[in-house]
Structure 1
Amino acid sequence: MKIAQICPRYFPDIGGVETHVKEISERLVLAGHEVEVITTDSGGKLNKRDMINGVKVTRFRSFAPGNAYYVSPQIYVYLKKQNYDVIHAHSYHALPAFFAAMGKCEGKFVFTPHYHRSGHTAFRNLLHKPYRFFGKLIFSRADTVICVSEFEKRLVEADFKVAGKTVKIPNGINLKEFEHLNRKQNTNGEKILLYVGRLEEYKGVQYIVQSLPELQEFRLRVVGKGPYEEELRNMAERLGVTERIEWLKDLSRKELLECYASADVFLMLSSHEAYGITVAESLAAGTPCVVAQGSALEEFVDGINCVGIESPVMPDKIIKKLNEFKEIADMKRYNSKKLLMDWAKVTNEILRSYEEMREH
């Protein structure tokens, strides 16, 4: 099959959607399919055309106020001139999916919304009501809607009345990477808190920083980059905890796995998540997690290896949960097959969905 994957951003940009599209695209190529990722580059610094691990990547300039929406009507124009067996668009919360829905000529249209209903900021949330018009058009033109969690599936069906089109296929991880990954003990007695992801306000990293003055035995390791980094660094300076925070970015895969394995607790306090790949990877590495409830992250909560914090997230709640973890002598390895699915299986299920859709 000739398959187009449309997403707001792609590798080397990082994020949950970017990881999802990269993992399935490269596996579809290995399965013998022709895959083109059509995406945007708001900064104009990346190549307009690339070939990455067998995946053709085509990038268009976009207007992205506040690192959002990624307005790029060139995607519509480009798709009008192409023919694909399947066009698979990603992310309700940015406009490339809308341009893909409007621009498709032939072939089937699949939509993975990565939907969490509200916006990441007050301004984006305000725009969600008028934006719903565009969203409804995307869902109406989709032949199949793939949701990555039960939480997302319920939201999508309630907000867009598309129960007959939806199927749940969770995000994946590379399970083989974790088979021989050994937990590492810190010999100096310090405990490591870990965050991995984009640095944006809605991700809740600020609450971890605000907790550090009362968590003297912990250091915080932050892996990621984003527009909120400067504010976080300034906050750490004001609180006097700068020396107890490591800021890491652009790590190799091996280095990231080592971060998971050497952490004592992973925290993801985001208020908007349709899945939570970094939580799944932390749990696969045997690292206990603290997550914010109120999004798909709560599906990981088992009360033993992953605990939830009720909204609103506050430093005192984080401190309490971390103290509870310290009282658990022997953490059991997270072993939920329901949520920790390998990317190979995810890709096979998506491919099966493509094939079934084309048969009807």
Structure 2
Amino acid sequence: MAKEIKLVLVTPSYYPQIGGLETHVKEIAERLIKSIPVEVYTLSHNLTKRIEIEEIDGVMVKRFKATTLTDGIRVVSSEFTRELKTCNANVIHLQGFHSLLPYYLSRTRLLHKLIITAHYHGKGHTFLRNILFNCYKPTLKKIARSAERVISVSKYEKSLILKELNVDEDRVIVIPNGVSSDIFDVIHRASSQNFCKILSIGRLEKYKHFDMLIKAMRILDRDFKLTIVGDGPERCNLLGLIDKFGLSDRIFLKSNLSRKDLLEEYISSNLFVLLSYHEAFSIVVAEAQYLGLNTIVPNASALSEFVEGGYAYGVNLPLTPRKVADAIIEISNLPAPLKKYAPWTWDSVAEEHIKLYRSLC
């Protein structure tokens, strides 16, 4: 007889922080809790106590105090490893390879079954983090090989894991990211104004290349306008660049939008652009394509799968402002939308996770 599943999701960050990983964990946690006991263990550097517990949309979240070192690297407290050892879960599901959590789990003698969703990009996203990440790969190989299963969110990510971490192929499975079901209830209407509205969404990090998109806007005519939605460490630099180029009347940077307001940005836009070189998957690209926005992405990482499928227009590397501007002009003149993408829903993603947990318990 199968055991009851008791699950702990371990993640470097969680809502209200915003990003692809945070969205992934929150969306599946809120669906899993309807079927199995779930807790989320996460880190925070600005707690007043060593552990803080709160309930968010039905999910119990334990935040552990962490010390932030250089370049956003967080060192966890002893309370975290102690809680992990003594928790009454029988499945621990680690989210993300781009933090020190894999190191701490590899050094903790756990009796639980371990599952990993890698969110793996294959490298760090700054010069220092890339050097450290290459030194870190032996630890990632060790913990990946000790896991019952490693989940990737795209075929591209799976190939990267098999190539770089030497995990047996039958232990790496693909469960794509989902999209929220609310996108099925809205209709793309695009801008009816006499200009072309471009939308770009994401965490404001250097590797997302929002600066490249801003520079491309200098080349485009004034009837192209851009809205960037996101927050992150590059926010001030991007605002400075917009001001420097005198583009504040054509480029608008918005943060902390409600889901309703974000959907309004989607459906009132003509084009969607994401210029990130490193994506294991992109939820915002999937949503934009489903809603009928012609989409431009680099022909690289997991984004190349959208290009190969005919769902997006791919720009070959290396990107330049001129290449991006030319792509925007070309796609804005297309007589018909590109092929429509049919995404997974988060409900389907959660169901696949439950099947996996049950198969291991």
**Alignment correspondent of 1:251:** 257
Residue type matched to 2:214 in 1?
A: V
Show the 5 A alignment for 1:158-237: 158-162=163-167, 163-174=169-180, 176-215=181-220, 216-237=222-243
User: Is the 1:2–1:86 contact (alpha carbons within 8 Å) kept by the matching residues of 2?
Assistant: yes
Closer/same/farther in 2, CA of residues 304 and 190 from structure 1, 3 Å limit:
farther
C-alpha distance in structure 2 between counterparts of 1:347 and 1:117, whole Å: 25
**Alignment correspondent of 1:265:** 271
Q: TM-score, normalised by structure 2?
A: 0.93
User: Aligned match of 2:350 in 343, 347, 351?
Assistant: 347
Q: How many residues align?
A: 353
Closer/same/farther in 2, CA of residues 304 and 134 from structure 1, 3 Å limit:
closer
Residue type matched to 1:14 in 2?
A: I
| Deviations 1:250-286, CA, capped at 9 Å, x for gaps | 1111111111111111111111111111101111111
Which secondary structure does the structure 2 equivalent of 1:274 belong to?
Answer: coil
- Quote how far apart the aligned CAs of 1:344 are: 0.8
**Alignment correspondent of 2:161:** 156
State the percentage of identical aligned residues. 33
Closer/same/farther in 2, CA of residues 343 and 323 from structure 1, 3 Å limit:
same
Gaps of 5+ in 1: none
C-alpha distance in structure 2 between counterparts of 1:104 and 1:219, whole Å: 54
Show the 5 A alignment for 1:6-21: 6-21=10-25
**Alignment correspondent of 1:92:** 97
User: Aligned match of 1:146 in 145, 151, 174?
Assistant: 151
* Higher alpha-carbon deviation: 232-241 or 61-70: 61-70
Closer/same/farther in 2, CA of residues 67 and 193 from structure 1, 3 Å limit:
farther
C-alpha distance in structure 2 between counterparts of 1:116 and 1:335, whole Å: 23
Which secondary structure does the structure 2 equivalent of 1:62 belong to?
Answer: strand
User: Aligned match of 1:57 in 53, 58, 61?
Assistant: 61
C-alpha distance in structure 1 between counterparts of 2:354 and 2:317, whole Å: 37
Residue type matched to 1:328 in 2?
A: L
**Alignment correspondent of 2:45:** 42
| Deviations 1:200-256, CA, capped at 9 Å, x for gaps | 110011111001112121111111100001111111122111221112111111111
User: Is the 1:101–1:109 contact (alpha carbons within 8 Å) kept by the matching residues of 2?
Assistant: no
Which secondary structure does the structure 1 equivalent of 2:249 belong to?
Answer: helix
| Deviations 1:274-316, CA, capped at 9 Å, x for gaps | 1111101111111111111221111111575411111111111
**Alignment correspondent of 2:302:** 296
- Quote how far apart the aligned CAs of 1:168 are: 0.7
Which secondary structure does the structure 1 equivalent of 2:240 belong to?
Answer: helix
Residue type matched to 2:111 in 1?
A: E
Residue type matched to 1:346 in 2?
A: V
User: Aligned match of 1:278 in 279, 284, 294?
Assistant: 284
User: Is the 2:191–2:270 contact (alpha carbons within 8 Å) kept by the matching residues of 1?
Assistant: no
**Alignment correspondent of 2:6:** 2
**Alignment correspondent of 1:131:** 136
**Alignment correspondent of 2:110:** 105
C-alpha distance in structure 1 between counterparts of 2:224 and 2:69, whole Å: 37
Gaps of 5+ in 2: none
Q: TM-score, normalised by structure 1?
A: 0.93
